[in-house]
Structures are given as structure tokens and as C-alpha cells.
Structure 1
Amino acid sequence: MFEEVIEMITSNDEKPSQEIDLQGENLVNRARLTGCVTQEEILNQLGNCKGLQKLVHSIGIVIKIDSESYDHINVMLHGKNASGTVLSLSCPTDGTEKVFHLDDHGSQFNLFKKLKFECKHPGAKASVSVKLYLHEEYKVPVISNEAVAFNTEEYKAMIKKSLLSKGNNKRLKEVIEKAENGEDVTIAFIGGSITQGAVAEPIHTNCYAYQTYKRFKQMFGKGEGENIHFVKGGVGGTPSELGVVRYHRDILKEGTVEPDIVIVEFAVNDADDETEGVCYESLCLQILSANNNPAVVLLFSVFVNDWNLQERLSRVGKHYDLPMVSIKDAVVDQFRLTRDEGNIISKRQFFADIYHPTNDGHTIMADCLAYLFSETKKTQINKDDINISVDPVIGDAFKNIRLLDRKNYLSMAMIDMGSFIETDEDIQMVEMDDNLFSTPQFPNNWMHATTSGNNSFTMKINSKSLILIYKDSGSDAFGKADIFVDGQLMKCVDPREINWTHCHAVILYQEEECKEHFVEIKMASDDVDKHFTILGFGYTL
């Protein structure tokens, strides 16, 4: 932890406290992010008892609280030592480092499970740094506090590495020429929370999407760039399985917008795509098939553990010869270098948490896309357009999918709401386009409430495939629902598994022919007094 702000809150009649979970990958990811540790030898040992004993001899804790009411707070390191107790110490709050020597407690500490900070009164906020001191045979990078050297030759060389493929440039060059001629051009972005702008400050103008739009305006716009328009449709925690359903709503604005360029960013979200790329390819084809021949750019962002799905998803880009930009290719190799060896930005500078970029990280993403635009401008235009009539490389079963919800179902389905008669207003909220205010996702929904009764939601629909979109929640008021198709139990879905409010897409059926199906949704037998929200459906004909 490095100057991380925590707040002591009261729960279960205990003293006010804040807990930091160190189990599973949490400790390893904190070492990657905060400590900029890249050595696999060290990261692997952090995840097991014997490794920790070899690595760590002491723990340093620095706490700052701007209040005279708290001269000390208690810090407890949960795990198990020889006597089975939790180790604790009292730490000053004036910024003085308190060093906790593990050998002073009779044996090496076996496992770090969690840190707990505890004080007398609720509401106290503190800035906390926690260091692990390693035995001298282990060396980790010295973290530089130097600002990122933007616009240097070394920085530009890093940005160049992001250009995974220029692809067929015909569509993108035509859009650039259109912009330079003063014609209206719309650049759109669809993806997950990184596209939404999560953690960027402010989220609506410092996210990579808006910064890319500004760069495109500056590079190719007429006058002040008033002919360049911006659409952003990033929804946190969701894969292309949901993106393909909401594209017509969030990007095309129900047919009122024709984007000229669409950047697709699902490389770190599509682990949750149960089609393993079919929805991603279907989304790309849905965009590419539009009458105005938009350009599609595939963007591959990255997590703090250097992971993304670039290998899987770049197959789609190669198949249709699309431009591709890899943030992973740009930054990951240089993360392992010291400043003397050529490091440009550290993980602590690039990532705000284990998932999302800082403002500097968003700037780098925008610069990578701008480099693609500038290189495309320089190169000769491809004579022929891309060929989207070839057989798909993964699958295209969902390319013509459409959204069905409480507002528009009448022409497509026969629905009996049963006891799902309420409308849920406590739904995922997202900053769309260049707005700072949040837009509710799937407001035209059906919710089962505790007072609604216990009748099934039923729907008769003709379709090849059907995706259910339901609300995940962290509330104990929500319970499981059983999903039947044509009388057979297909799934029991639990909105508490993810444990935070967002949209969850799941396939109910996928077939070759369009035919009538009967769908029934009812509360699981042990959750009839709980809530469940059907946000909508995606269907194909």
C-alpha cells in the first residue's frame, strides 16, 4: 500500500475498522501495482507460506491522520503464527514508520490473510503505506517518483510498439479525408469500464476515449473541429456478450447516429464472454456491415498482471484485416526495466488499481490510437475494401441481435409479467458520451419484489437465440431465479455471485433455425420472498 486512503467504519458492534484482504491474488497484485514488482520468482513466493518465510523479515507501516484525536491506531496482521494468534501493534498517526519484525514473535509468520486497522471512533480517515522488507538476497525495483516524460523520443518509441497492425486502411483513410474536408465525422467507443473512464479524473474528459476524440479533432478536424462528434458507450464489468446487445442502443442511438469510426475495447472484459469470441466477432461484423462502411479499430487494453485476451481476439482483426492497437505491447516490456534501462512509466503510474489506468495511463492509450491515425494518414490508401463476406473465424451467430425490453417487446413477443411487475430503479449507472452525469442501464425492466406474489414471468418468442440480461446485486434482498425454456430447466441464476450492482448477460439458447420458444422465469423455491430483476433480452431472428 502506498498512501492509500482508508476509512474506519463500524459493523457488527465491533470497533470502527477497515480491512484489507490479502488472500488469493490480492497480495501478489498489490506487489505488482504498488511495488512495481515484475520478478516472477518473488511474485510466486508471495502466494504461499514457505515463500513468504524466505522473502519477508519485517513489515513497515506509515499512517497519517490530520486529527489530534488519533495519536495511535491499532494494526492487526491476520494469519497464523506458532501460537495461532493474530499479531498486532499500535502505530503512531504522525507519519512515523513503525517496523514490525516477524522474528520478534518467535517464528516466521506463516500466511498473510488480511490487514485490519482499528480505532476508537468511526469515520476516521487515514493515509496508509505498508512495506514488506525482503531479505537481502532478493532485490526489487527502486520506484521512481519522476513524472512521465511525455513527448520524448523514448516515449514515442514506446507508443510505436502499440501498433499491432495498420490493417486495411481504406475505410479509416476515407474517414480522415472526410474530416479534413469539413464533413461531419463521428468517432465512437464501445467497451467495458476502461472505456467508461473508470478512475479517470474527471471521468468524462480525461478518459482515453475523450482524449482520443480530442486528438482526432486536432489532427483532422476543420476549424476548431466542430465537425467531429463523439459517442462513448463503455459499461463497467461487462463483456462483448452484452456489448453486442446494446450496440444499437448506446452507439447507434436507435438508428439516429451513424458512426464513422468505432473503437472496440473488450480485451480485458471478455473472460466473461461464454461464447469465447463469437459475440466479439459478431459485434465487429454488426459494425462493419453498416451502410456507411465505418472503420473498426480493435483496442487491446491490459491489467496490472500483464494479462489480456489479445491472442484470442486479434484473430478477428487478422481475419478481416482490421487496424489493431495493443496497449499491452506498448507498456508491458518496459514495466520490467529500471529508469536507467529505459523505463518510461511504472505500473504505479500507469494503473490506479489492478484494472484501470490513471490519467497518465489514459493519456498513453489515447496517444497509441493517435499514432495509428497519423500512420494511416501517411500511407497510401488500399484499393479494395475489407472483405466481410468470408466465413467467420470464430462465429457470427449474434451479429444481427437486437434488444428486447419492457418498452419495445410488444411487436416481438407475448409476455405475461406474472409477479415481475415492478420496475427496478436501483440499477447500474454509467457516464455515457461526454456526460459527467450517469445514465441508468436498462431502465425498462421487470422486477420481482417481496410483495409481488409468486407467479412466473413467461414469454413466447420466435428467435434463433436468446440472451437474458439480469441485474447482479450486492444486496441480501436479491435471490436466485430458475430459468426454463420449453419446459426444461436451463439455468438457476444467482444475482449475488458477483456481489455488486451491474448488468449480467447469459445465453439461454442458440440454434440454427428461428422457431417459437416458451421462456419461463420464476423465483427459486427458497428465494420466493426475494427480489430479482430482468433487465431485458437480446434476440436474433
Structure 2
Amino acid sequence: MKKFLAVLMAGAMVLAMAGCSGGNSTASGSEASSADSSAADSTVSTADANSISASDGSAEVSAPATAEADDSAVEDAALPNAMKPDLLSAAIRNRLGLDEAASTAAAEQMLTKLMYNQGNPARVAKAIQKLQAGEEVTVAFLGGSITQGTGADNENCYAALTAKWIEEQYPGAKVNYVNAGIGATGSYIGVHRCDNDVLSKDPDLVFIDFSVNDESQNNNINKLTYEGLIRKIWNYTTAPGVICVAMTQDNGTSVQDCHGAVCAKLGVPMVSYHDAMLDFLDTQDGVQWSDISGDNIHPNLNGHAILSAMLTTYLQYVTDNLDSIDTTDPVLPDPGEEGAKYEKAQLLTTDDAQPVSTGAFQQKNMDFGGFKNPWIAKSSDGTFGDDSALVIEVEAQNIGILYGMLTNNAGLADVYVDDEFITTINADFTGGWGNYVQFAELKSFDESGKHTLKLVPRGTEGSPSAFYLSGITIS
């Protein structure tokens, strides 16, 4: 049986990516001002998807209707022992007040939508075997504000609840919990900060959540940063298991299809809160979005508890099938021309980077949007002197920056690479939900080399202005 499943799962891993159609709209109420650009090879992300606008005890898992190119692979990779509804049923009953029969029926229906992609569970199985053996296991959660715990709290967010369940299931093991969620960040920022925030902790199991932070209009880059992120984690020395999570907005907006195509290509499991929860809300009388979320995106305490139950249901599913899983370490398919573009991505923090000159920028000891000690250029009247530029030398093939979007007194920055004007970045987010860190990919080259990045701050004459630089992204 193990050999049979291994062959089937290997077949699933070599499927070509079906494409990245992604979500069908941008996040409501979250439009950030786009940068004026004269460079065809620069990309500036323009919105923040973490904004807020006001029966028989078992069920088989079926392939989701949205994964058309991978339907047969998902079904073929299903394990012999079916998922059990117990954990989901208990969460629905305890959090939403449904009676036992209704909660069990709802859980069984959810199970039919839960797995967007079955993937190869070998790495996840290895982590569970370590837990069973009483070893030390590090479980990390990488994502945006949902992972960070928005809508719940530090103890009752889905990540903490899932880690707590693992600890309770395996009291003889030492479980290290890492929450690497930062609000308003997607997979571009995620792949660049992964080394510092996740891999430095030597994880054995990593959950990834970026499906409502990545934006569908950027799917040409989303598929590359998401694949690079998975490859980066997969190839780390601890050989971590990876489980991807597809979240949703109230209107269904999500780049689940884009991320799911990457998961199908790489043979990585993906749990779909998007499919399971939206179907539940469509079919369950008396339950609505406001019962599981306090806004248009973030789960509330109920939603976090149910999301955690989805993840623990999958973990229990793998546990129940350990004897049937071939734990031979899977080999990822060839990345092709661009699949590994961001696998070696790094974030040069303001503490790491050594500017040639800082100009009008001064480093401030503070936390801004989850990133420490930004360089800030400020002017009380919107004017900056002739020597106001920050200049830094980097060695990279792809260069970008992280900068602050500001609701008040936002400035601009003219960006140059090797003295070539690339773009003007406008940090204005007046009327938005709050300040946050955004990314701009600036320039890509045919090969890695030494380059000079220059930022020249600008403002509106007569008005206070500021520009925050939170890091340099290189790959």
C-alpha cells in the first residue's frame, strides 16, 4: 500500500501549474495610492488585503470543483482512512451553538470541501512520528494578520489553538510554537522575511497563510513568490513539512486558485477554509458571516476555533493513516525558468544594511508595521536638501524595498538603481485603515551582481511629509 500511494502522490507532484487566476477583486476599503512609474520592469503593489470594511461519524474527502486541472490527482492521493468529523463537529457545536446532529452533519459536509489539494503528506507524517516518539518539534505559522491573531487574541488565535492541540495530543513531546504572522503582509514580504522569522527557529512543520493578502492583480508575481517560499522552506536543513491554508473574504475574494496551482505543482497539502466555510454558510440555516467574523476578512473567536479544527482534523487524518504513508522524502519537481526566482530571497533589515550615505534619513528605534527600526526622512515643510538621498549598495539579481504607507503626512521617494530612474513611490494612504508596510519590486537583472540603490525623498511644499524605509528585499 505504501508503495502504491507513493507512486500516485509522485504523479500528483509533477503536474504542471494550471495557472493563477486568483481572487476576483481587490480587498474592499483597502486601496492604497499607487506609485507613478516610468519603468516597465518595476512592480509596485497598491493595496492591502488585510483591510477592514465596515451522521455516521465519517466522511470521504472529495476533490474541490475549483481545482479543475488537478481533480484526478487530488482524488488519487486520498488516504485509505477517511477524515473524521469529530473535531470540526465539536468546534461548530461549542462555538456556534448547533445541536449535536446539526453540527455533525455540518462537519461532514465541510470535510467534502476541506482539502483543496491533498498533496504528499510524507513530511507531515514525519513530524507526527517525531511527536509520537516524544522528540522536540517546532511548529511555525507564517502569514498575515489572521495568523497574527486579529479577531481573536494571542491565546485563542487559530495558530495558538492548533499548537495547543498538538501539545495535548503528544504530552511526551516538547512542542515549540512560532507565530510569524505580520498584518498586511503577503507572500512577497513573506518569502523575504522567512529566513529571519521562521527558518532561524529550525521548524519541523510550517503552516502558510497568505491567500487574502496576496492580490489577484499581482498573480504574475504571487505564483513566483509563493513557489519560492515553499521551496525555501522545503529545502531547509530540517526538512520541514508544509501545510498551506486558503482563507477568504466575506465575498469569496482569495487567491486560493493561484496558490492552489502552486501546491498542486509541488505536491503540498492545502486546507481550504475558503471552500469549507463559504459552503457551510451557504447551506446552513441560521448561521451567517457575522457569526464567524467581525469584519470582512478576519475570523473572530468562533472563526479561529473552527479554522484550528480544520487544521487539526487534517493532522488527525494523517495520523490515522501513518501506516499507509510512504515517508520517503519527496523530491520537488524542477522549478523551470522562474520557479526558483525567490527561493534565495532575503530581507536586508535596516539594522543589517550599511548605507553608503543616509542623507535625510535617520534610523528610529521603534516598531513600524511589524518591522523594527525604520529609516525615516522627515520634513516640516515638505522640502528636502540636495544631499537628502539614502544610498546603499547591494548584491542581487532582483531588488525591491519595504516602505511605510501612511495615513498622515506621507511623502514620496524617487528611486534609482545604478543611477537609472526606476519609479516614484507615493506612500500616501490618507483615509485608510492605518499605517502598514508595503513592498515595491524595483528591478530585475539577468544575473546577480553589485548594484547601487538610491532613494530621494520628496514632499509637498508647505506641508509636513515623511517617508519610511523598512528594509531592502534581494534575491
Residue of structure 1 in register with 2:296 after alignment: 354
* Identical amino acids, percent of aligned pairs: 24
Which residue among 377, 380, 400 is the counterpart of 1:467?
400
Q: Kindly name which structure, 1 or 2, has the bigger radius of gyration based on alpha carbons.
A: 1
Amino acid at match of 1:294: P
Residue of structure 2 in register with 1:513 after alignment: 447
Superposed CA deviations along residues 483-516 of structure 1, whole A, max 9, x for unmatched, are 1112222111111137421111110112230122
CA RMSD of aligned residues (A): 2.6
Note if 1:222 corresponds to 2:171: yes
Matched position secondary structure for 1:270: coil
Which residue among 379, 382, 394 is the counterpart of 1:450?
379
Residue of structure 2 in register with 1:206 after alignment: 156
Superposed CA deviations along residues 374-404 of structure 1, whole A, max 9, x for unmatched, are 1111221225322225125973211111121
Which residue among 188, 194, 198 is the counterpart of 1:247?
194
Residue of structure 2 in register with 1:153 after alignment: 104
2:403–2:471 CA contact under 8 A, matched in 1 = yes
Task: Describe the shift of the 1:442–1:336 C-alpha distance in structure 2 as closer, same or farther (beyond 3 A).
Answer: closer
Note if 1:425 corresponds to 2:366: yes
Moved more, 490-499 or 460-469: 490-499
1:463–1:514 CA contact under 8 A, matched in 2 = yes
2:205–2:240 CA contact under 8 A, matched in 1 = yes
For residues 483-522 of structure 1, the aligned pairs below 5 Å read 483-497=415-429, 499=432, 500-522=434-456
Residue of structure 1 in register with 2:252 after alignment: 306
1:446–1:534 CA contact under 8 A, matched in 2 = yes
Amino acid at match of 1:299: V
1:297–1:322 CA contact under 8 A, matched in 2 = yes
Tell me how far 1:186 sits from its aligned partner.
0.8
Amino acid at match of 1:153: T
For residues 26-105 of structure 1, the aligned pairs below 5 Å read none
Residue of structure 2 in register with 1:415 after alignment: 356
Tell me how far 1:296 sits from its aligned partner.
0.5
Partners of 2:288 and 2:126 in 1: CA distance = 37
Matched position secondary structure for 2:120: coil
1:168–1:385 CA contact under 8 A, matched in 2 = no
2:415–2:422 CA contact under 8 A, matched in 1 = yes
Moved more, 466-475 or 271-280: 271-280
Residue of structure 2 in register with 1:377 after alignment: 319
Which residue among 480, 486, 492 is the counterpart of 2:412?
480
Tell me how far 1:520 sits from its aligned partner.
1.2
Matched position secondary structure for 1:312: helix
Amino acid at match of 1:532: F
Note if 1:232 corresponds to 2:164: no
Amino acid at match of 2:424: C
Partners of 1:415 and 1:526 in 2: CA distance = 27
Tell me how far 1:425 sits from its aligned partner.
2.9
2:252–2:274 CA contact under 8 A, matched in 1 = yes
Partners of 2:136 and 2:129 in 1: CA distance = 11
2:459–2:466 CA contact under 8 A, matched in 1 = no
Amino acid at match of 2:266: Y
Matched position secondary structure for 1:459: strand
4+ residue segments displaced more than 4 Å: 148-151, 451-454
Runs (5+) with no aligned partner, structure 1: 1-23, 27-32, 35-144, 429-440
Partners of 1:367 and 1:337 in 2: CA distance = 19
Residue of structure 2 in register with 1:536 after alignment: 471
Amino acid at match of 2:330: I
Task: Describe the shift of the 1:164–1:406 C-alpha distance in structure 2 as closer, same or farther (beyond 3 A).
Answer: closer
2:142–2:206 CA contact under 8 A, matched in 1 = yes
Which residue among 265, 277, 285 is the counterpart of 2:209?
265
Matched position secondary structure for 1:397: coil
Matched position secondary structure for 1:398: coil
Partners of 1:303 and 1:282 in 2: CA distance = 25
1:166–1:376 CA contact under 8 A, matched in 2 = no
TM superposition score normalised by structure 1: 0.65
Partners of 1:150 and 1:309 in 2: CA distance = 34
Amino acid at match of 1:157: E
